[in-house]
């Protein structure tokens, strides 16, 4: 059974790594591959991500002004239509952090979730 891996980084560093990964910076891709091995579980479907994956990022709901939380999404989930993928992503996030209201902002093919602690 693959293990779900969530990583916390300082807020700015996490979003900077996300931006560089999306721009296909070789150093950022290598850093993400070291943080998330191919045996990591997909954040949406809980299957192993393999070599073809994408990065997911959000403000950490426990500390939204200081930390970001990152995980990976497998290629199969990324191949789904955006509305289906984002709906599944939102339901997983609500299950993990039930007391936090999340808003999905589509600044990337994955979408960035912003926590609104209310």
Q: Please, which residues bridge with residue 57 across strands?
A: 70, 112
Angstrom distance (rounded) from CA 9 to CA 16? 10
pLDDT band at 94 (very low <50, low <70, confident <90, very high): confident
With 60 as the cut, is the pLDDT of residue 112 above it?
Answer: no
Sign of CA dihedral 67, 7, 34, 32: negative
The dihedrals phi and psi of 89, each to the nearest 5 degrees, come to: -60, -45
User: pLDDT of 60-75, one tens digit each?
Assistant: 888 888 999 999 999 9
Distance, CA of 91 to chain centre: 14
With 70 as the cut, is the pLDDT of residue 98 above it?
Answer: yes
Angstrom distance (rounded) from CA 30 to CA 8? 17
With 90 as the cut, is the pLDDT of residue 29 above it?
Answer: yes
pLDDT band at 105 (very low <50, low <70, confident <90, very high): low
pLDDT band at 116 (very low <50, low <70, confident <90, very high): very low
The better pLDDT of the pair 60, 46 is held by 46
């Amino acid at each position: 059974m693959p293990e779900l891996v969530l990583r916390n980084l300082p807020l700015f560093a996490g979003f900077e790594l996300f931006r560089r990964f999306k721009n296909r910076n070789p150093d950022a891709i290598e850093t993400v591959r070291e943080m998330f091995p191919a045996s990591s579980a997909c954040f949406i479907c809980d299957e192993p991500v393999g070599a073809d994956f994408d990065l997911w990022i959000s403000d950490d709901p426990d500390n939204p002004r200081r930390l970001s939380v990152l995980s990976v999404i497998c290629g199969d989930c990324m191949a789904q239509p955006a509305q289906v993928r984002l709906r599944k992503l939102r339901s997983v996030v609500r299950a993990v952090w039930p007391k936090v209201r999340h808003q999905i902002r589509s600044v990337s093919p994955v979408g960035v979730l912003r926590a609104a602690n209310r």
